[in-house]
Structure formats: structure tokens, C-alpha cells
Amino acid sequence: MTDGEGFGADGYLRISYATSMENLESAVAKMKALFGEKAA
């Protein structure tokens, strides 16, 4: 995950999906815990 500024999307996060489904599911669970359910 990185900021979107380098990709012309200032104020947004850029997330790579180039990983396993298991890693993606784990990352989403962690983001939900950090940001709340509205993050999903």
C-alpha cells in the first residue's frame, strides 16, 4: 500500500492486488479493524 500521489490520485491509497487471496483477505480484515466496517 502506498499513497496515490505518484499515480495522479492525491489523497487516496494505492493497493496492489498481486498476491494470494489469503493475503488479500487478511489485509482487508486488518483494514476493517483499523478503519471500521465502512472501509469494506
Instruction: State how far the Cα of 11 lies from the Cα of 9, in Å rounded to an integer.
Output: 6
In this prediction, residue 15 carries a pLDDT of 81
Cβ–Cβ < 8 Å for 36, 23:
no
Phi and psi of 2, rounded to 5°? Answer: -150, 170
In this prediction, residue 39 carries a pLDDT of 58
Q: What is the pTM of this model?
A: 0.58
Low-confidence ranges of the chain (pLDDT < 70): 38-40
In this prediction, residue 4 carries a pLDDT of 86
In this prediction, residue 25 carries a pLDDT of 93
